[in-house]
Structure 1
Amino acid sequence: MREFLNKLFKRDSSPFAGNKLANAWCRQLELDAPAAQRAKVLALARGFVADRKLPTPEALEATLLIDAAAQSSYDALCCQYVANPRMSKELERQLWTEIVEYAQAMIDLYQRFVKADPSPEDKPRIDAQMPQVLARSLHYLGLQAKWYHFRFERLPSKLWTQANQLYRLSEIDGFDSNPFPLYPGHADEVTSCADEYLQLLMLATLSSHNLTVRQLDWADHWLDRWSKLIQLSRKFYADRHHLCVNLQEDGGPVRVKEDQSEEPFRYWGLFDLIHELQETQRKLENGATPVSLGLGQDCRQPASTELLRLIESAWTTLMRNTQVTRSARQTVSKTAEVVQGLGRLCAMVRADNDKFSRQPAEVRTDVDYDEIMDMRLYGFVSERTRAKQATGPATVQPKSRQKVGSVAWAIENESEGGFGAILHAAENEWIRPGALIGMRTGEDDNWRVCVVRRLNRLRDEQLSAGIQILSATPVAVSVKAEDDENTQINLSDVSFLNTEFPMLRVGLYIPHLQGGNSVNTLMLHASEYANNRLYSVKARDRSFTVKLGSVLEKGADWVWANVQVVKQND
């Protein structure tokens, strides 16, 4: 009887019993070391969920206070992981597990209040806190997703199901875009349920792009601001939207398709985001510092500019993929030789140009590249070219060159416009969507100008890549701006070594169909491009003055632009 009376009259000393007890518990928590703080909060959250305690308004207010009190300790744990990319596997596993499990415990704790059926008198107080509950739940889901991305692991379907449902609840209650600080310590930084959800979605679009832990972490922090440039729409506009998500499925963002109905999909476009990226890059090029642009205290040049270009390339590729119909694929089993970057590709194309030029008509099995240049520039073969062919030697042996470093990729499917390849991650750490590569599937084949469009991480340290062919008949040229006083580098004078190439002033003349018409285009290093600038372009002993026009596409270190021939130089 005494034991029963003690239980009946004993006051609940749990911090979930009221605001006063919660504040006292948090003050006591501040005296502990960070690891002890996290351990106490983790035990408290798991205990509340396991005991199935009543989700009262007082318990919810205490949950919000306790979560905020432990944020500095949890942030320090996350920073420790990101700042130690070379940690031992055992330490990495330990930190990764602690970070993900802590986030899951907080998600489960908040879910008790999301699923609660409060009494009529408690409902107004719980509903008033629900924007914070849903936003913080989405925030923790985003942290879990980021740590899965760090390991290139596929996100659990449960994570996407929860995120989609939580955002949908915020829409139903009408506060999905209401701004507020996520935690009291970040009063100057506002967010919303939509912002947290979009940050999770957009980071997923970068997860398969072979970014480092530091790069993904920077991108995630930048998305704190960038997510506010995106707006989710219930209605689909073909000229505006590029990505969508199905709120009733266990998946993340996908590119829009014409056969998708408007409900339960949500759509968004990337135009404003790309514009912000380009403006940020322009300001950095004009001397602004990453810190002054809000990119973070630990961001430095040129790493931040490089990452901005990689992200821009990834998202412009997503935009492009919504407008391009893919041709049918056929399963094959081939091996392709691959070289990376414009410098190496120009070396290989130059060798092709030399190999197939100056062969007499009766023995020639391939096209003459002087003829190609004439047809692209004038629409006919000039008399000068015909005279040169008549007087030229039967064959011209290309200069001896050292072999350019290449890698082998296994081609598993091909289509009219490209390839699907499997490659080893360890041998291709440089690869990113938007990377410029040269490919050939046999020693007797020409080198093709290609761009990596899609990249997915597979098991066993393998990557799956989708590659688009831009041109099978490029012409290697040297490029010099008319107002540049520095000496032009001619391709014929360059000894291409099997080491890293410097930023040589080289380029590729590429035929391109635009609006059904054949146009002249030039691919060159990004640092060399300027719209409406005059350039001297030289292919062997032929030289032209050209003016660059609009950009067709660009990657992190290359630009592909329309070009207008002004004159042929002597």
Structure 2
Amino acid sequence: MFDIKGFITALLRPRKSGAVSDLTTATQMMAGLADRDMTSAHRAIIKSLQELNQNGRLSSKERLRTLQYIDEKAQPLQLGLVRECLRQLDREPQLIKPQVDLLRAYWTALADGYRLVLRDYQRKPSRALQDAIPMATARALSAFAELGKWSLLQYHPVGQRVWRNLDRLYLFAEEHRFARTPMVLHVGTPAISCEDVLLRMHLLHLAQPEGLSARQIDALDQWLMRQTKLVQLDRDIKPHRQVYAINLEAHRPAHRLRRNMIAAAYRYINTQPLLEALEQTQSELEMGEVPAQLGLGEHFQRNRDEPGLQRALACWSRDQYPSRRFERNNRQQGVEILIGLNAILHNLTGGSTVASSSHRQPVELEVLQRRSVSSPRPLPTDVELMTSPDWQLEDESIRGFGIMTEQEHAVPIHMQDLVGLQRGEQLIVGVVRRISNDQKLKLGIELLATQFRQVTLQQGNRQATALYFPDNAELGLKRALVLPTGVLDDRHPCQMLAGSQHYEIELTPPTLGDHSYQCAGFRVLAKQAA
């Protein structure tokens, strides 16, 4: 097996040892590295970058030369790990945490290395480095932007260190008059400028990623890589045209523009060209254009991911910015939380008492308490349900509630996960619409039903236990069925059994769901005799 650790260590020795001069052999060995060595290779490269950053004896020229070589040759490995992490992030974020930590460690070490070169150049400008400084600045900016993006993908806050370095590097680029100079940072990537990188990070943050899935965040980021060049940072304030402002001395995300935001450190953003481009992208999606051709990535699925584009469109606009529709009331009380359809069904069928609230009509308890006949997936055990962390109800409105826990949750929580909230004898059901993971895990839940009943769906020899949500005109909730994904063929009618009542129904396309459940409307074709 090729010794990548020894190779990188040898590569980083001072030039007089002769190790750095054999780039042809090094390139061949790096290109022949097996996929199974990806993780160990990353660890070795990260360690070598860290040792390089700690080596104060290297000249700036030699440091930059070594950084550029490692950056370019490690790019295929890094992209492979990025693809694998993105593939798993929506489903198993905890399982890939070590790989994500490797990604972050690599970008941190790489960004710090370029930053050291720029610091030395500022202290003692050198003609030998002058031509390479724009590329070094853009690559440092890009590495810090990747750190910010992966914070958003994990629903963590973007740290002030990232914002501070983005601001300072951009100001350095402005000062040396290459902030808008397009550069190809790596082979096969589009030309971007330092301004593009800064804007991309701010615009991604402004799209309220705490309400998007990881795939939606990544699709939006890939789209921005192509389209950010349509937008520029203005020094002069024009309140009737601009929507956002960045304070480059505050080291924080952009804010919606106010007339008192006037200072030399402010840069202003007119998002109108970006909105027009996004509307054009949506139109082309409707006409059947392949998402990858529109810059949305190869994993973009219209039904699942287009709501993320719609949210970005609203967030970047002047008039459609999403606002709170219902007043929230502070609660601060302990509640039991059930994550997922299986956990909710287990609660209903495992002997727990589920009573209606004062607003509900009575339901048939024999139906609610009837055990599931079969399930497409194994239900969690009592132990798995009882070991969930303590949850606190923080606030609620007539259409949702916010919950929080300080303990690590054993089961990964995703956007659009089904959530049951048990408070006393009342059980209500909602869906995860917002995730924040800053020391405390906080979830924003949109209400789906305050009353429901358990039903059985049959289609030939297929059978599934489902939840029936009735209409609620007061809350604007439409009737729906929540059932496991992939059990029934929604192209054909099925039978719905609710106690003594039997119906033949036809499911409509799902309006909500993921790999474990789907929420769909239905049409009643006939009422049948029991």
The two structures share one fold, judged by TM-score above 0.5: yes
User: Which TM-score tier does this pair reach, normalised by the shorter chain?
Assistant: 0.5 to 0.7
Separation in 2, partners of 1:420, 1:500 = 18
Give the corresponding residue for 1:275.
276
Separation in 2, partners of 1:88, 1:281 = 29
TM-score (structure 1 length as normaliser): 0.56
Separation in 2, partners of 1:228, 1:174 = 17
Quick one: structure 1 residues 401 and 269, their matched pair in 2 at CA, closer, same or farther if it must change by over 3 Å?
farther
Give the corresponding residue for 1:136.
139
Deviation larger for 282-291 or 189-198: 282-291
Task: Give 2:160's match in structure 1, choosing from 134, 157, 172.
Answer: 157
Give the corresponding residue for 1:193.
194
Give the corresponding residue for 2:251.
250
Give the corresponding residue for 1:462.
442
Structure 1 residue 32: Cα displacement: 2.7
Separation in 2, partners of 1:49, 1:97 = 19
Quick one: structure 1 residues 65 and 83, their matched pair in 2 at CA, closer, same or farther if it must change by over 3 Å?
same
Q: Matched residue of 2:134: which SS?
A: helix
Separation in 2, partners of 1:320, 1:90 = 35
Separation in 2, partners of 1:69, 1:427 = 36
Separation in 2, partners of 1:466, 1:251 = 29
Quick one: structure 1 residues 278 and 500, their matched pair in 2 at CA, closer, same or farther if it must change by over 3 Å?
farther
Separation in 1, partners of 2:211, 2:234 = 30
Give the corresponding residue for 1:106.
110
Give the corresponding residue for 2:512.
none
Quick one: structure 1 residues 276 and 457, their matched pair in 2 at CA, closer, same or farther if it must change by over 3 Å?
farther
Identity of aligned residues (%): 20
Structure 1 residue 110: Cα displacement: 0.8
Quick one: structure 1 residues 239 and 73, their matched pair in 2 at CA, closer, same or farther if it must change by over 3 Å?
same
Give the corresponding residue for 1:70.
74
Separation in 1, partners of 2:98, 2:414 = 28
Separation in 1, partners of 2:75, 2:145 = 15
Separation in 2, partners of 1:330, 1:74 = 44
Separation in 1, partners of 2:279, 2:28 = 46
Give the corresponding residue for 1:3.
none
Give the corresponding residue for 1:180.
183
Quick one: structure 1 residues 93 and 137, their matched pair in 2 at CA, closer, same or farther if it must change by over 3 Å?
same
Q: Contact between 1:334 and 1:411, CA under 8 Å: does it hold in 2?
A: yes
Structure 1 residue 41: Cα displacement: 2.6
Quick one: structure 1 residues 313 and 178, their matched pair in 2 at CA, closer, same or farther if it must change by over 3 Å?
same
Q: Contact between 1:413 and 1:421, CA under 8 Å: does it hold in 2?
A: yes
Q: Contact between 1:248 and 1:264, CA under 8 Å: does it hold in 2?
A: yes
Quick one: structure 1 residues 287 and 155, their matched pair in 2 at CA, closer, same or farther if it must change by over 3 Å?
closer
- Paired letter, 2:18: S
Q: Matched residue of 1:191: which SS?
A: coil
Structure 1 residue 454: Cα displacement: 9.6
Q: Contact between 2:156 and 2:436, CA under 8 Å: does it hold in 1?
A: no
Quick one: structure 1 residues 112 and 234, their matched pair in 2 at CA, closer, same or farther if it must change by over 3 Å?
same
Structure 1 residue 85: Cα displacement: 3.3
Q: Contact between 1:56 and 1:118, CA under 8 Å: does it hold in 2?
A: no
Deviations 1:492-535 (A, max 9, x none): 9xx96453699xxxxxxxxxxxxxxxxxxxxxxxxxxxxxxxxx
Give the corresponding residue for 1:536.
none
Structure 1 residue 106: Cα displacement: 0.4
Structure 1 residue 171: Cα displacement: 0.4
Structure 1 residue 112: Cα displacement: 1.6
Separation in 1, partners of 2:15, 2:74 = 29
- Paired letter, 1:194: E
Quick one: structure 1 residues 159 and 400, their matched pair in 2 at CA, closer, same or farther if it must change by over 3 Å?
same
Deviations 1:415-455 (A, max 9, x none): xxx99963469999449xxxxxxxxxxxxxxxxxxxx9998
Separation in 1, partners of 2:62, 2:150 = 32
Q: Contact between 1:55 and 1:112, CA under 8 Å: does it hold in 2?
A: no
Matched, 1:499 2:481: yes
Quick one: structure 1 residues 429 and 77, their matched pair in 2 at CA, closer, same or farther if it must change by over 3 Å?
closer
- Paired letter, 1:154: P
- Paired letter, 1:123: S
Q: Contact between 1:455 and 1:465, CA under 8 Å: does it hold in 2?
A: no
- Paired letter, 2:95: L
Task: Give 1:12's match in structure 2, choosing from 12, 17, 25.
Answer: 17
Deviations 1:178-197 (A, max 9, x none): 012111343xx111111111
Quick one: structure 1 residues 458 and 159, their matched pair in 2 at CA, closer, same or farther if it must change by over 3 Å?
closer
- Paired letter, 2:153: F
Deviations 1:240-284 (A, max 9, x none): 111122111231222122222232111102211111111111122
TM-score (structure 2 length as normaliser): 0.60
Q: Contact between 1:419 and 1:466, CA under 8 Å: does it hold in 2?
A: yes
Q: Contact between 1:236 and 1:262, CA under 8 Å: does it hold in 2?
A: no
Give the corresponding residue for 1:260.
261
Give the corresponding residue for 2:97.
93
Quick one: structure 1 residues 411 and 298, their matched pair in 2 at CA, closer, same or farther if it must change by over 3 Å?
closer
Quick one: structure 1 residues 85 and 119, their matched pair in 2 at CA, closer, same or farther if it must change by over 3 Å?
closer
Deviation larger for 157-166 or 211-220: 211-220
Separation in 1, partners of 2:404, 2:122 = 54
Give the corresponding residue for 2:52.
48
Separation in 2, partners of 1:234, 1:300 = 38
Quick one: structure 1 residues 101 and 119, their matched pair in 2 at CA, closer, same or farther if it must change by over 3 Å?
closer
Deviation larger for 75-84 or 60-69: 60-69
Deviations 1:165-184 (A, max 9, x none): 00110000000000121113
- Paired letter, 2:251: D
Separation in 1, partners of 2:290, 2:91 = 30
Q: Matched residue of 1:181: which SS?
A: coil
Structure 1 residue 466: Cα displacement: 12
Quick one: structure 1 residues 116 and 134, their matched pair in 2 at CA, closer, same or farther if it must change by over 3 Å?
same
Structure 1 residue 164: Cα displacement: 0.6
Q: Contact between 2:182 and 2:191, CA under 8 Å: does it hold in 1?
A: yes
Give the corresponding residue for 1:515.
none
Quick one: structure 1 residues 10 and 297, their matched pair in 2 at CA, closer, same or farther if it must change by over 3 Å?
closer
Task: Give 2:119's match in structure 1, choosing from 115, 118, 135.
Answer: 115
Q: Gapped runs of 5+ residues in structure 2?
A: 1-13, 334-360, 365-391, 406-411, 418-431, 448-471, 484-489, 491-530
Separation in 2, partners of 1:86, 1:334 = 30
Quick one: structure 1 residues 119 and 401, their matched pair in 2 at CA, closer, same or farther if it must change by over 3 Å?
closer
Give the corresponding residue for 1:541.
none
Quick one: structure 1 residues 49 and 461, their matched pair in 2 at CA, closer, same or farther if it must change by over 3 Å?
closer
Q: Contact between 1:23 and 1:65, CA under 8 Å: does it hold in 2?
A: no
- Paired letter, 1:232: L
Q: Contact between 2:72 and 2:186, CA under 8 Å: does it hold in 1?
A: yes
Task: Give 1:57's match in structure 2, choosing from 52, 61, 75.
Answer: 61
Separation in 2, partners of 1:89, 1:299 = 19
Q: Matched residue of 1:266: which SS?
A: strand
Quick one: structure 1 residues 82 and 331, their matched pair in 2 at CA, closer, same or farther if it must change by over 3 Å?
closer
1:230-379 equivalence runs, <5 A? 230-316=231-317, 320=320
Separation in 1, partners of 2:62, 2:154 = 39
Quick one: structure 1 residues 85 and 43, their matched pair in 2 at CA, closer, same or farther if it must change by over 3 Å?
closer
Give the corresponding residue for 1:146.
149
Give the corresponding residue for 2:385.
none
Give the corresponding residue for 1:216.
217
Structure 1 residue 25: Cα displacement: 3.3
- Paired letter, 1:182: L
